[in-house]
Amino acid sequence: MKFRIGRVFLACVPLIVKPVIGVLCLCGLLGAAWAQSWTSLGPVARNDPAVVLDPTTNRLILFGGQTNGNEDVGDPGNGDLNDVWRGSAAGNGNVTWTLVEPSGTAPSKAFSSAVYDPGSNRMIVFGGTNGGCTNDTWVLTNANGNGGTPSWIQLSTMGGPPPAREHQTAVYDPDANTMTIFAGDNCSSGLNDVWVLSHATGEGGTPTWAQLSPLGSPPTGNEYTTAVYDSTHKVMIVFGGFTTNISGSDTNGVWTLSNANGVGGAPVWTQLSPSGTLPGARDAHSAVYEEDHNRMIVYGGENGTTVYGDLWVLSDANGLGGTPTWAQIGQSLVVYPNPRYFHSAVYSPITNRMIVFGGYGVDGPYPYTEVWVLSQ
């Protein structure tokens, strides 16, 4: 957890507003300005909810987050949410939100991690805060709205479990049905361990945690970092983050973890050395992965003094082909989303779009309820 001099994180307060929908088109990585339009009421303003996307229906699934409290001074607050919203993304980028009312007992969580399995239509949620750090695992069935009433199930896992934490990353391997989590913090100090949950959807066997012991040195950024996953080559790609254990600084480094799903061989950490101009060191940013072109797209974040609104692409991101190369894109846009951090982002392979929800900025005491869509 961060403690920085000269920096204040603004507390979240419940606020009902109409979400703004924006669309950015990048033609050849550059293009027209963002266009905005009003839509129906959606999720209340919140900090760092868990958001996944079903690539089959192109529907967003949003869960939880926090409406008040100040994590940065050790006060988790009492505003951890347990609501679920489903967003239907039209071809033009407009999102229509629908409140979902799952059966079962719903967890209340902020700063958790979530992954989605299209094959079983299940969202898996791990950890986060609920009056303190947690290490429980939950599954939301029928998450995309098809196949029946969504239902919450708490998994009874074997092995481990991982130490309780928040702000960790999570990636999912659909072939092995495994969820891999990395780093985060235990509500007082940073972590850099890696754990894999087998039978992560709760199907096909008993969900079981196993800690990996990768070769090589782990990333220096362990809080508010991002991770994306190359499911073809079983490589997790980690960028940036805040380093609590090394003088409390941000990083702009990129690491890969091979065999990240815990299957098929010994996992190995490798720090990449990309060419090109590097993004500024940062944390609390977002990243998505375009697997067909092996590109990681990074947006926003902050470094303790600056809130970023820039957009970067890392080509050859898995480190297995050509030399990974950073390039900043979108500089010529006339209108751009406000700089932000602690937002959520997903990638739609159907529409080739990056979808960003919420986050904090520098222009008010409330998190955003905007949805922005990056088209290429």
Confidence of residue 11 (pLDDT cuts 50, 70, 90): very low
Per the DSSP assignment, residues forming a β-bridge with 251 are 241, 282
pLDDT per residue over 278-316, tens digit each? 999 999 999 999 999 999 999 999 998 999 999 999 999
Say yes or no to pLDDT of 155 above 60. Answer: yes
Side chain identity at residue 211, one-letter code = Q
Which residue reads 């909810």 in tokens?
49
pLDDT band at 367 (very low <50, low <70, confident <90, very high): confident
For residues 372 and 376, what is the distance between their CA atoms, to the nearest angstrom?
Answer: 13
The percent of residues above 90 in pLDDT, for the chain, comes to 66
For the residues 328-346, what does the mean pLDDT come to?
87
Residue 258: band (very low, low, confident or very high) from pLDDT cuts 50, 70, 90: very high
Domains of the chain: 20-375 (2.120.10.80)
Full-model pTM: 0.87
* Torsion angle of C-alpha atoms 291, 296, 301, 302, degrees rounded to 10: 150
**pLDDT at residue 329 above 50?**
yes
Overall average pLDDT of the 220-229 stretch? 94
Residue 33 confidence (pLDDT) above 50: no
Least confident range from 152-166, 312-326, 350-364: namely: 350-364
CA angle, 145 as apex, 143 and 146 as ends, to 5°? 105
Residue 36 has pLDDT above 70, yes or no: no
- Residue closest to 118 by CA, chosen among 147, 89, 95, 144: 144
Question: What CA–CA distance (Å, rounded) separates 343 from 248?
Answer: 22
Indicate the average pLDDT of the chain: 85
Chain mean position to CA 57: 20
DSSP string, 318-372: TSSSS--EEEEE-TT-SS-PPP-BS-EEEEETTTTEEEEE--B-SS-SS----EE
Query: What is the model's pLDDT at position 147?
Result: 92
**Token pair belonging to 33:** 């300005």
The torsion region of residue 362 among left (phi > 0), alpha (psi -120 to 50) and beta comes to: alpha
Residue 166 — very low, low, confident or very high, per pLDDT cuts 50/70/90?
A: very high
pLDDT tens track for 67-93: 754 444 343 444 788 999 999 865 555
For residue 192, CA distances in Å to 3, 212, 308 come to 18, 11, 25
Is the pLDDT at 172 greater than 50? The verdict is: yes
Residues forming beta bridges with residue 62, ordered by sequence position: 51, 85
CB–CB of 235/321 below 8 Å? no
Q: What's the Rg (C-alpha) of the chain?
A: 19
pLDDT of 15 higher than 60: no
The Cα–Cα gap between 303 and 281 comes to 7
Phi, psi at 73, each rounded to 5°: -115, 25
- Of residues 23 and 221, more confidence is placed in 221
Q: Using omega within 30 degrees of 0 as the cis cutoff, is the peptide bond preceding 161 cis? A: yes
Cβ contact 279:297 at 8 Å:
no
| pLDDT, position 210 | 98
Rounded to whole angstroms, how far apart are CA atoms 35 and 23?
Answer: 6
| DSSP state for residue 224 in the 8-state scheme | S
Assess contact for 367 and 358: CB atoms under 8 A. Answer: yes
Q: Which of 155-159, 192-196, 302-306 has the lowest mean pLDDT?
A: 302-306
pLDDT band at 16 (very low <50, low <70, confident <90, very high): very low
Decide which of 19 and 128 is more confident. Answer: 128
Instruction: State the pLDDT confidence band at 27, using cuts at 50, 70 and 90.
Output: very low
